[in-house]
């Protein structure tokens, strides 16, 4: 609390200095807040498209002199190592790049805010351990759903409530799992021209539509909060905010959950295509379980909408502002040495699942593409079945046919020799296997 006071004190000294890697949509949203935040500056922006990064700064309202005074480069590793960088923000969205950049930050003694949740779910537990050994902060990105949900779960537990379920809302229907970059804007609900003007990449946004991003984000929440994940993928039940506590409770009590203490995503769409009333498409939630009759009575007394038993009630946040809120993570790391959420256990994994019948010899095109989507399953099952992480299902060749709906395994693909990212993930798996078996 009172982080802003610390920021004001810092503003009269040396500002908090950031290296931003990736000036896409999330990075641009963060950049828009920098000029109005005292004591915060971006020392360097690293992006493979340097001119596009400069253009992003201008498009979000940076004055010409601030653009001129900021360094731009396509060499992220050199930018990370600079003496005038306190915090690295990794916002590329590419898991391989994210892991490499995080490890470079640890080696350079820099805190890192991992906007790149794909990298976090691929190897977050190993990265968190490496950060701790280096004495730096490895943090989720505040403003994105995982950090916001982790904050709500922590609040609930500190207040003495049980957590029946936690997660987010989205727009999803069962057939969206087969969505491709060709039809993504129809599913998403905007025109191709509007998407182009907003700088929205069809492959990236298709990962939101086809369920991959939901699987990745719920895995990140489970791994940060030690919550369970569904045994065979997210259910995506339709639920408005008034119905969260009724639907997101155990099946034995009339809800949809296979157990209590689990991550789940609710959809804003009914099975027949109607929009769910009072939906939570842009928000996050936690379903609380009262520890006693007195607390349960208070739910109703103070205007909450408990379920029929009176013991479950939901707290929710209707919106998240993504990169516009990222300062909270940057400042918590720099000023207090704290994270806004971090991987603590390998509980959930997002694995590659075939969108259609795939033939031997096909090359997988990764998250948001035409071949596979990311399915959330327990980490124990992922390790037992040798499932291929969605973060590594890019530019790898299938060795056998995979029927639609089947999870792809490590044994179904061929990787290039000397792949550092594969080696890092496999090493993490070897550490985790005995823990999962215990």
The C-alpha atoms of residue 79 and residue 149 are separated, in whole angstroms, by 31
In a domain, 263, yes or no: yes
Q: Can you name the residues that pair with 264 across neighbouring β-strands?
A: 167
The C-alpha atoms of residue 117 and residue 95 are separated, in whole angstroms, by 8
In a domain, 19, yes or no: yes
Q: What is the largest CA-CA distance in the chain?
A: 63
The yes-or-no verdict on residue 207 having pLDDT over 90 is: yes
Strand 87-90 relative to strand 138-140: parallel, antiparallel, unpaired? unpaired
Domain identity same for 295 and 385: no
Domain identity same for 405 and 430: yes
The yes-or-no verdict on residue 187 having pLDDT over 90 is: no
| pLDDT score for 145 | 98
Domain identity same for 87 and 162: no
167 φ, ψ (degrees, to nearest 5): 170, -145
- Residue in the block written with tokens 């280096």: 134
| pLDDT score for 1 | 67
Domain identity same for 167 and 54: no
Angle CA(7)–CA(13)–CA(16) in degrees, nearest 5? 50
Q: Which of 88, 89, 96, 25 is nearest to 367 (CA)?
A: 96
The C-alpha atoms of residue 41 and residue 33 are separated, in whole angstroms, by 10
| pLDDT band, residue 197 (cuts 50/70/90) | confident
In a domain, 206, yes or no: no
Q: Which of 358, 48, 61, 374 is nearest to 207 (CA)?
A: 374
The C-alpha atoms of residue 76 and residue 39 are separated, in whole angstroms, by 23
Number of domains in the chain: 3
Domain identity same for 284 and 422: no
Domain identity same for 259 and 311: yes
DSSP H or E run through 405: none
Question: What pLDDT, in 10s, does the model give residues 3-49?
Answer: 999 999 999 889 999 999 999 999 999 999 999 999 999 999 999 99
Q: Which of 307, 336, 365 is the last residue of a domain?
A: 336
| pLDDT score for 337 | 97
CATH number at residue 40: 3.40.50.720
The C-alpha atoms of residue 209 and residue 239 are separated, in whole angstroms, by 18
How many CA atoms, within 13 angstroms, populate the side-chain half-sphere of residue 364?
A: 35
Question: What pLDDT, in 10s, does the model give residues 299-331?
Answer: 999 999 999 999 999 999 999 999 999 999 999
Question: What pLDDT, in 10s, does the model give residues 340-376?
Answer: 999 999 999 999 999 999 999 999 999 999 999 999 9
Domain that holds residue 90: 3-143+323-336
Angle CA(365)–CA(368)–CA(373) in degrees, nearest 5? 85
In a domain, 101, yes or no: yes
In a domain, 244, yes or no: yes
Domain identity same for 303 and 401: no
């Amino acid at each position: 609390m009172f982080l802003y006071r610390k920021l004001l004190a810092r503003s009269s000294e040396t500002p908090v200095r950031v290296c931003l890697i990736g000036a896409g949509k999330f990075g641009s949203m963060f950049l828009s807040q920098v000029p109005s935040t005292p004591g915060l500056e971006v020392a360097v922006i690293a992006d493979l498209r340097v001119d596009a990064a400069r253009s992003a700064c201008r498009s979000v309202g940076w004055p010409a002199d601030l653009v001129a005074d900021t360094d731009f480069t396509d060499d992220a590793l050199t930018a990370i190592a600079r003496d005038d960088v306190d915090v690295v923000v990794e916002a590329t969205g590419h898991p391989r790049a994210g892991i490499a950049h995080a490890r470079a930050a640890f080696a350079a003694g820099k805190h890192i805010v991992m906007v790149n949740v794909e990298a976090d779910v691929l190897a977050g537990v190993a990265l968190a351990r490496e950060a701790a050994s280096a004495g730096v902060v490895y943090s989720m990105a505040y403003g994105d759903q995982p950090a916001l949900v982790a904050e709500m779960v922590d609040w609930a537990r500190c207040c003495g409530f049980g957590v029946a379920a936690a997660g987010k809302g989205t727009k999803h229907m069962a057939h969206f799992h087969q969505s491709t970059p060709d039809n993504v804007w129809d599913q998403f609900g905007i025109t191709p021209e509007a998407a182009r003007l907003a700088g929205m990449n069809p492959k990236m946004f298709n990962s939101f539509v086809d369920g991959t991003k939901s699987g990745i984000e719920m895995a990140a929440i489970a791994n940060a909060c030690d919550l369970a994940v569904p045994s065979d993928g997210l259910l995506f039940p339709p639920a408005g905010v008034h119905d969260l506590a009724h639907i997101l409770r155990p099946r034995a009590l009339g809800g949809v959950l296979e157990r209590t203490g689990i991550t789940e995503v609710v959809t804003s769409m009914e099975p027949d295509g109607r929009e769910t009333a009072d939906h939570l498409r842009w928000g996050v939630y936690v379903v609380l379980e009262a520890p006693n009759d007195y607390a349960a009575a208070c739910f109703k007394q103070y205007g909450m909408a408990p379920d029929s038993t009176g013991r479950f009630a939901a707290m929710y946040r209707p919106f998240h502002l993504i990169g516009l809120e990222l300062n909270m993570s940057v400042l918590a790391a720099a000023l207090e040495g704290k994270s806004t959420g971090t991987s603590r256990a390998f509980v959930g994994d997002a694995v590659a699942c075939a969108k259609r019948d795939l033939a031997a010899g096909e090359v997988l095109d990764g998250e948001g593409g035409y071949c596979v989507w990311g399915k959330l399953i327990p980490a124990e099952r992922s390790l037992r079945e040798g499932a291929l992480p969605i973060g590594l299902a890019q530019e790898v060749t299938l060795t056998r046919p995979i029927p639609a709906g089947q999870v792809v395994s490590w044994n179904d693909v061929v990787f290039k020799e000397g792949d550092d990212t594969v080696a890092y993930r496999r090493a993490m798996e070897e550490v985790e296997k005995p823990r999962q078996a215990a």
